[in-house]
Structure 1
Amino acid sequence: MTAGNSASAHAAAMRAAARKGWWRRVLAWIGIGRRAARRADARAALWSHGAAGEEQTARLLVEIQARGWVVWHDLMLWGRRFNLDHILISPCGTAVVVLDTKAWRRTWTTGLVYGRVHCGPDDRHSQIEKVASYAQAVAAVAGLHPVVVRPLIVVHGSPVAGGFLEAMTPHGPVHVLSPGFLVPTLLKAPGVPDAWRARALAEQVGRVLAPFADRG
């Protein structure tokens, strides 16, 4: 599935839902219901912004695909409802990266405040913890022990302080990167390329993944 497809589809559905039906169109025409439509448009804009971020990340990942990484976008685990923005399989076949894209306010800096990730004044650490839990779920469902499953976040828009943060969560550390740090960090992954092992790992992970479908 193409990166950002589910977010774009969700944005379109939200806009349509705010205007669905002839009666709602009449209400909007006379001024009743316009507020709901504006709220839906504002929420949809956030989803569209997120989709654009995922597409930017996908373009960055083309470089590592040329170096033997397996890259998938917009997935879900069988039996789970959360969206996995990007799943990466290392060319050495010993690591899986659960990569999440964030598109945060560009006029605010992302940094650590008393060990918690903030974007400007907003505490975003719960989002970091979610990504760590996603990585843990992928490892459990796919039976990946002792394969390393690493949660990683790339932030578009908001500058990341120093370009690289390590945030601690109950599920372990999560690295939060600016876009310019993403590919260099991935290419530093240890291990000797092993095409057979990488293919076997990709097949093992692929068996528990499906294209993401927002079921409301």
Structure 2
Amino acid sequence: MSTQNSAAARAAVLRRRARRALWRRLLALCGVRTAAMRRADASAARWEHGAAGEETTVRMLAALKARGWVIRHDLRLRGRRFNVDHVLCSPCGTAVVVLDTKSWHRGRPTSLIRGRVCCGTEDRHEQVEKVAKYARLVEAALELPGVAVWPLLVVHGSPVAGGQLEARVQGWDGPVYVLSPDRLVPRLAGAPKVRDPRRAALVAQRVDSVLLPYTETA
């Protein structure tokens, strides 16, 4: 995964769309930004911030490859447009991790408030619900009995209370873990106790057949 991940690509598309017309390009060359350009630039900046967090996660996860994990980034299910930030196949061949990266406000802690994940006082529980939904859809598409799909969310910037939260969402049996970056790799590295390279390879092959590289279109 390069710096042109889906979030970075989305930012580029937003900036390009705002400057598509000839007169807008001329204004941009003169250093003049229209209201549409300013809105697009603000939105693009948010996407670029998210892209930086995804790149950090990619670098961190690279350490798991030596332990037998198969790792993919920026994928989508056939027939669907949403993207999955990271998908990991365990070396034991019994688990697939659907991991979403978030970059939240550094000055606001992430915690559970009345059972909902919040950044400061802002409710962010819908992000937890989304990764659980992605995991549910991936699980159904893989059709691999005996292979568990785990939804995880890693938060950059905002300190996660205790380093780890166990959130619950409707429609998902079990917790959705919300982790600080320093907890991510140790938690995954410590999960599989045995290796089954043949089974792991078959799971990775199935993942590659069901999930496609995500592309952002202008």
Given the two structures, how large is their TM-score scaled by the length of structure 2? 0.93
- 1:130-209 pair list within 5 angstroms: 130-170=130-170, 171-172=172-173, 173-209=175-211
Contact 1:2 1:74 in 2 (8 A): no
Report the residue type matching 2:178 in the other structure.
V
Q: In the superposition, relative to structure 1, how do residues 55 and 30 fare at CA in structure 2: closer, same or farther (>3 Å)?
A: closer
- 1:21-170 pair list within 5 angstroms: 21-25=21-25, 34-170=34-170
Q: In the superposition, relative to structure 1, how do residues 68 and 104 fare at CA in structure 2: closer, same or farther (>3 Å)?
A: same
Distance in structure 2 (CA, Å) of the matches to 1:92 and 1:30: 56
Identity among equivalent pairs (%): 58
Distance in structure 2 (CA, Å) of the matches to 1:184 and 1:142: 26
CA-to-partner distance for each residue in 1:6-60, whole Å, 9 max, x for gaps?
A: 11111011111111222234567697x6221111111000111111111100111
Distance in structure 1 (CA, Å) of the matches to 2:214 and 2:67: 26
Distance in structure 2 (CA, Å) of the matches to 1:86 and 1:77: 13
What do you get for the CA RMSD once the two structures are aligned?
Answer: 1.8
Contact 2:88 2:97 in 1 (8 A): yes
CA-to-partner distance for each residue in 1:111-131, whole Å, 9 max, x for gaps?
A: 000000001121000111010
User: Alignment length, in residue pairs?
Assistant: 215
Q: In the superposition, relative to structure 1, how do residues 22 and 215 fare at CA in structure 2: closer, same or farther (>3 Å)?
A: closer
Given the two structures, how large is their TM-score scaled by the length of structure 1? 0.93
Distance in structure 2 (CA, Å) of the matches to 1:26 and 1:95: 53
Distance in structure 2 (CA, Å) of the matches to 1:92 and 1:198: 6
Unaligned runs of 5+ in 1: none
Q: In the superposition, relative to structure 1, how do residues 41 and 93 fare at CA in structure 2: closer, same or farther (>3 Å)?
A: same
Contact 2:9 2:216 in 1 (8 A): no
